[in-house]
Chains A and B, each alone.
Chain A
Amino acid sequence: MTEQAYKIQEEDLIRDDITEYLRRHETKDLLRLLTCGSVDDGKSTLIGRLLYDSHMIYEDQLAAVTKDSKVHGTTGDDFDPALLTDGLKAEREQGITIDVAYRYFSTDKRKFIIADCPGHEQYTRNMATGASTCNLAVILIDARHGVITQTKRHSFICSLLGIKHVVVAVNKMDLIDWSEEVYEKIREDYNAFVARLGFSDIHFIPMSALKGDNVVDHSQNMAWYDGPTFLHHLEGVNISTDRNLIDMRFPVQYVLRPHLNFRGFSGTIASGFMRVGDEVMSLPSRRASRLKAIIGPDGEIAEAFAPMAVTVTLEDEIDVSRGNMLVPVKNLPHVGNEFEAMVVWMHETPAKAGRSYLIKQTTNMVPGVLADIRYKVDVNTMRKQAGGEAPAVKTVQRGENSSDFNERSDSTFNELNAATELQLNEIARVHITLHRPIAFDPYEKNRSTGAFIIVDRMTNITVGAGMIVDRVVPKPKSSAPVSKNIVKTASLVSDEDRRKLLNQKGATLWLTGLSGSGKSTIARQLERELTDMGHACYILDGDNIRHGLNRDLGFSMEDRSENIRRIGEVARLFNEAGIIVITAFISPYREDRKQARAIVNGGIVDDGETVQDVKIEKDSSASTISESSERFNGLNEGGARLNDSTNPRETRFVEIFVDTPIEICERRDPKGLYKKARAGEISQFTGITDPYEPPQKPEITLLSADLPVNQAVGLVIEKLRQEGIVG
């Protein structure tokens, strides 16, 4: 439908049946998008065009703009759509856009909120701000210039902030004779680098924002383009699946106590959905209860979902206050006072490692320390940078090198010295320690519970924004941090020496599975078998670990993690000594097994399961995101810890999933634990009240229900032979 026809149809409806018109507009949905591009790519023009063509400009505003066009405009006496959008006096006088501006327009299908982000100085800060609330990013490219450094930078920041949908607006097609070839080339160039950024949908549209081609109406000049127009595409993008409707998270904002018989907890559902009767737990206290009632803006409802603002009441009088989070008992977020995050620094005063700040996450404002700056990311190249020596990221002017970042070499990069400062507009991976624990999820999984802002304690200014990457290994409470003075000295005995001596390679056979799945049985048989074959091996299990080394640990989520961490460290020591370790722990959390794997495999702290997929050039001086299947948290850690004398990439960790269905485990119930758990005598029992997260890519899966123990053991030994662990 043409723009004119569309307008007329709307007007007819307004005139003839206003009630129907209002009904349609009441039920439309909402899309938040941001526009990014370099200065002069045509952002303001495009937005002005949308506002104008979709009927959002009133005549008197237009009259004012037309008057202004003569004074400030760049289009001579013609109407300049950019003037509809460029707001502040200062920027109009300078002809630039200096801050994120929000614009509104709507059709009968959708309301649109546009975050108009300047492509100028402060780009990173402003873009991160604009992107934080958006579902979709419009990346403008001036067809005459093609894909330039800024294009990549903007795309990277959008991906960092978790945007899933991208529209690449190839603008100013009028200036290149509406050339299909040029457009195709830009498409190719863009696709070549963007694959690694993890967008779920990318759409290209050739247009002229100034003339209106393919903005609202199809272009007469580009008959070769048969895709949707810009507006049409925006109206149709499916964003309903972007939300996390799986993991219910309800950060408590406010407690209502109108009278003694009512205690309500108000808040905005961050993700997931809830139903009356659901069993919920308050974090970090871990007190459980059930949802008694849910009160929405229109009264009591049976269920509610993100992003509704509701008030809930609970069956039991448990202590809940602002800053606590209600979650399903069977689907818990992380709880802890340490995490790693990607941070965008937003203030002229640099961030300093070791300095204390206020961290606001969900409804918590907690003091914390920026404990460590792991490395910085160069937004132009998407490379990790050596901390200290890295040049500050500068504003890159148009036309500056647009070389492909794969080719760029970073000569300053040797080892990762921790950076100590973070400048305005820099992005870094950091480690944060809080004064008290909070509940959180990785940002990748949950944009609401994985996001935080950093506030300066003296000036109260918001100085940074962060996205939680993953849980870190909690440090033992009593121990001091690793001293900088501990230097590893090379042993006089090499791994090779030990290998020859023992005729085997140190390795960890990590058995995981439900209670009663057969882990211990297989472990014991395996130990017997390997010993008979003349190999040195040893089982670590609850009996020898929980009673000694880890007797100070309980079964809370944190303690379980710490338990696994220590086991990982012990296994690693055994392995370095040349011994084969067999572990037999339920180890239900994927995260924890990831950590154990990382520790055993020589200190790759957080890549966990993806380490397997990632091909690492061992000597590359810097690594790029392209090597990772994940996004920013996949920035791999090539050399993040000082390597041992051994090849750090030699995988010693063999994850063995003892995959027995819970019904069978429960029938076996060798220690009567399932019975107790069912009777409610054990409060936290994997498979009954607590989740078991099966491995996604175990080295070995043993379907032990149908597999006699000796055959299972045979399979494992076969695998060990293949891997060269035993001869």
Chain B
Amino acid sequence: MSGYNLSHLKQLEAESIHIIREVAAEFEKPVMLYSVGKDSSVMLHLAHKAFAPSKIPFPLMHVDTQWKFQEMYKFRTLMAEKYGVELLVWINPEGKDISDPFKHGSDKHTQVMKTDGLKQALGHYGFDAAFGGARRDEEKSRAKERVYSFRNEFHQWDPKNQRPELWNLYNAKVNKGESIRVFPLSNWTELDIWLYLLREEIPIVPLYFAKERPVVECDGTLIMVDDDRMPLKEGETPMTKKVRFRTLGCYPLTGAVESEAETLEEIVQEMLLTTTSERQGRVIDHDAAASMEEKKKDGYF
């Protein structure tokens, strides 16, 4: 009866669609956090499938730090149009036009623009559920994360206070002010995401593909000069290198890798043949091994 079997990818797809529909049905005011990255692309595509031929019944929200790559801003608008979904953009007013990762450091910038910004935005709109594209295989401390991750009224995550999760029966009950972060891609791995992008021909930001780009080297990491806010050292001129990005964040905090991969297949090929993990490109993770856990307790995604 091989005709009645689903490949792992189709099972993951079904499971994610189930979760997305469940949230839309049970929460009063859900939102999908959209980071413009490849995982967000998959999540958005799944949301589209979950409700077709209807429109996606909740808005997207991008918590903007004002330091994303220009191509990300373009792509963001394009996707909202393609899927016909409302896009909200939130910039923390306290850090707006002030926060500068070059001046204030990555930690502070991320704290203000991303962590605080997200909390403000959720509070401002009164969202009781927020989809995020995080996967359990990304980081060790995420291995125990629930699909429905409970946050108290201060948006805090308490590892001891998570609800047991059985079958596909998710508990959506929250009191006023409390919320749930929902991770429909929990069971996907990096490879699954690429396989799915390929299968479904889902668009992703061109920065993922190798191209000649202007970069400078900072502490052994290649940083792309995306705009003129980038402070160059005395006499420093950007080099042109063929690079791509494994993950996308604020351009000053995201390392590029030299690469020849211009197609999805080539990216996967490179990924599988290299032996450094995805997150190494993120400056933010260079701290101690358990730092992610600390950040999460504090409300960072």
Q: In the complex, what residue of chain B is closest to A58 when comparing beta carbons?
A: B277
Contact of A453 with B169 in the complex, beta carbons under 8 Å = yes
Residues of B close to A407: CB separation below 8 A? none
Residues of A close to B277: CB separation below 8 A? 58-61
B192 in contact (CB, < 8 A): yes
Residues of A close to B268: CB separation below 8 A? 18, 22
Q: How many residues of A contact B (CB 8 A)?
A: 79
Q: How far is the CA of A264 from the CA of B50 in the complex (A)?
A: 12
Contact of B159 with A106 in the complex, beta carbons under 8 Å = no
**What's the least CB distance linking A515 to chain B, in Å?**
35
Within 8 A of B (CB), among A25-60: 25-30, 58-60
Residues of B close to A19: CB separation below 8 A? 265
Residues of B close to A211: CB separation below 8 A? none
**What's the least CB distance linking A321 to chain B, in Å?**
10
Residues of A close to B168: CB separation below 8 A? 133, 268, 448
**What's the least CB distance linking B276 to chain A, in Å?**
5
Contact of B7 with A100 in the complex, beta carbons under 8 Å = no
Contact of A309 with B17 in the complex, beta carbons under 8 Å = yes
CB < 8 Å neighbour of A102 from B26, B143, B276? B143
Q: A253-B18, A297-B17, A460-B173 are in contact. Are A68 and B167 (CB under 8 A)?
A: no
Contact of A111 with B143 in the complex, beta carbons under 8 Å = no
Contact of B141 with A88 in the complex, beta carbons under 8 Å = yes
Contact of B136 with A58 in the complex, beta carbons under 8 Å = no
CB 8 Å contact bits of B263-301 with A (1 = contact, 0 = none): 001101100110111001000000001100100000000
B230 in contact (CB, < 8 A): no
Contact of B6 with A133 in the complex, beta carbons under 8 Å = no
Task: Give the interface SS of chain B, mostly helix, strand, loop or mixed.
Answer: helix
Contact of A455 with B164 in the complex, beta carbons under 8 Å = no
CB 8 Å contact bits of B7-19 with A (1 = contact, 0 = none): 1111111110110
Contact of B171 with A18 in the complex, beta carbons under 8 Å = no
Stretch at the interface among A355-363, A410-418, A584-592: A355-363
Interface centre among B11, B18, B24, B164 (most CB of A within 10 A): B164
Q: A100-B144, A254-B24 are in contact. Are A240 and B1 (CB under 8 A)?
A: yes
B55 in contact (CB, < 8 A): yes
B79 in contact (CB, < 8 A): no
Contact of A125 with B144 in the complex, beta carbons under 8 Å = no
Q: How far is the CA of A113 from the CA of B2 in the complex (A)?
A: 21
B221 in contact (CB, < 8 A): no
Q: In the complex, what residue of chain B is closest to A451 when comparing beta carbons?
A: B167
CB 8 Å contact bits of A82-124 with B (1 = contact, 0 = none): 0001011110100000011111101000110100100000000
Q: A14-B272, A68-B289 are in contact. Are A465 and B53 (CB under 8 A)?
A: no
B21 in contact (CB, < 8 A): yes
Q: In the complex, what residue of chain B is closest to A456 when comparing beta carbons?
A: B173
Q: How far is the CA of A113 from the CA of B4 in the complex (A)?
A: 21
Q: How far is the CA of A400 from the CA of B26 in the complex (A)?
A: 46
CB 8 Å contact bits of B31-55 with A (1 = contact, 0 = none): 0000000000000000001111111
B198 in contact (CB, < 8 A): yes
A145 in contact (CB, < 8 A): no
Q: How far is the CA of A456 from the CA of B8 in the complex (A)?
A: 34
Q: In the complex, what residue of chain B is closest to A100 when comparing beta carbons?
A: B144
Q: How far is the CA of A28 from the CA of B8 in the complex (A)?
A: 6
CB 8 Å contact bits of B185-226 with A (1 = contact, 0 = none): 011010110010011000000000000000000000000000
Residues of B close to A363: CB separation below 8 A? 22, 25
10 extra interface residue pairs, beta carbon distance < 8 Å, beyond A18-B269, A58-B277, A268-B168: A29-B5, A29-B8, A60-B275, A99-B144, A111-B192, A254-B51, A264-B53, A273-B4, A309-B50, A358-B173
Residues of A within 8 A of B (CB): 11, 14-15, 18-19, 21-22, 25-30, 58-61, 64, 68, 85, 87-90, 92, 99-104, 106, 110-111, 113, 116, 125-126, 128-129, 132-133, 240, 245, 253-254, 256-258, 262, 264, 266-268, 273, 295, 297, 305, 307-309, 311, 322, 346, 358, 360-361, 363, 365, 447-448, 451-453, 455, 460-462, 465
